[in-house]
Structure 1
Amino acid sequence: MDQDPFYSSSTTDQISREMLGMLLTYDSPKGLVGGWIVETEAYMGQKDSAAHAFKGRRTASNEPLYGPPGTVYIYSIHGRYLLDVAAQEKDIPQGVLIRAVEPTIGLDIMEQNRTKHGVDLTNGPGKLMEAFGIADKKMNMEIFGDSKLNIHQQDKKIPAHIEESNRIGVANQGTWATKPLRYFVKGNPYVSGIKKRDVDLKTHGWR
């Protein structure tokens, strides 16, 4: 990950907003793939009833969350792999889930990996990992930028408007389930679940 102080100076929900528009890349065995981050979710650690580290839960599987800022945390749910980044100092287990990207690099590789095209290619956390060709947790505990995964903080598009909502898929996860900790680029067609009438066909939601 490009060295930038925001990872140590911002709260995790702020980081989730700041990541929108950053370029996420993966140097895959088939070639470089990547896209602009258009949707994220913040998970606020021990106090967050929807977080993997709720009440200080610490296991071999969620150990990357306790790593230094920028640590890769890949986990699986319902047979799909999801990509998270540890957002705070070591042993503060807060993270940002990258939910969707607007694909820009290696489109042919991603379409081959998913046998899909158009917005369905990367408009969800499991879909983007499948498009990238990541189907294991081998990069866990690596640091973005020192890994084949990178978040390019300086290579960034600017959202015209950032929307927020409750997070997806955590409805039964206690009092924090309804907190507005999901952030997305308003009008971007690759945001998961966006209605066609809300898509900005002209700018995709960028300035």
Structure 2
Amino acid sequence: MNPEDKSYPLNEETRSRYGVTAYPAVLFVSPDGGLIQRVSGFLTPEQFSPIMQDALAKEEVFSKKLDELKKKPDDAKLNAQVALTYIERNQLEKAVSFSEKAFEHDPRNRTKLLPDLHNRLGLAYGGLVEKAMLENTEEAEMHFQKAVSHFKVVIDTYPKSKAHEPAQYYLGVTYAIKGNFEDAIAMLEKLSHHAKDKNVRQNAEAMLERVKDLASSN
């Protein structure tokens, strides 16, 4: 891919799809288009080799999980793990079907993976909101509602989970992205005063100032 060649559409499509922000960039991509690993910057052969081996190892582990899942299609833990990997690879559509099976077969969260899975799904949908707002408001609203629903599941269902306070923070940020500044400020103010997790509290304080600035300029 030549980043300077603006006449070739694949350049921009690849950059956007795989989040390339600096060059040179090396992408390790699965046969179905999932991003296994992305590395930016010049690499010597000595530096490149272990990175390549790591990417191959990740793909091998994931392939084994998929094979195992074929034998045990209702295994909640495997479905959740596969869904999380697809989310990491920016393959949300594939992640959704496995997520639904994980939720169906683990209603009591015995795998301890569901709160994080809901948060990851919420973040994935939240990331689509801003992009869609520029082109399709109906699509943006759909992604927004899905993101909110996943965060609210964590907030309402898993109050003792480590994912509980992050879910509130992500929800506040998602409200801000959508322009729901009043809801965003209310959520972030609550976290900035009451969050037990220091990182969540500090992030909420910083984001709160940004959201207030955005609200005052609109």
Q: Same fold (TM over 0.5)?
A: no
Q: Report which of the two has the higher share of helix.
A: 2
Q: Report which of the two has the higher share of strand.
A: 1
Q: Which has the higher contact order (CA 8 A, sep 6+)?
A: 1
TM-score by length of 1: 0.26
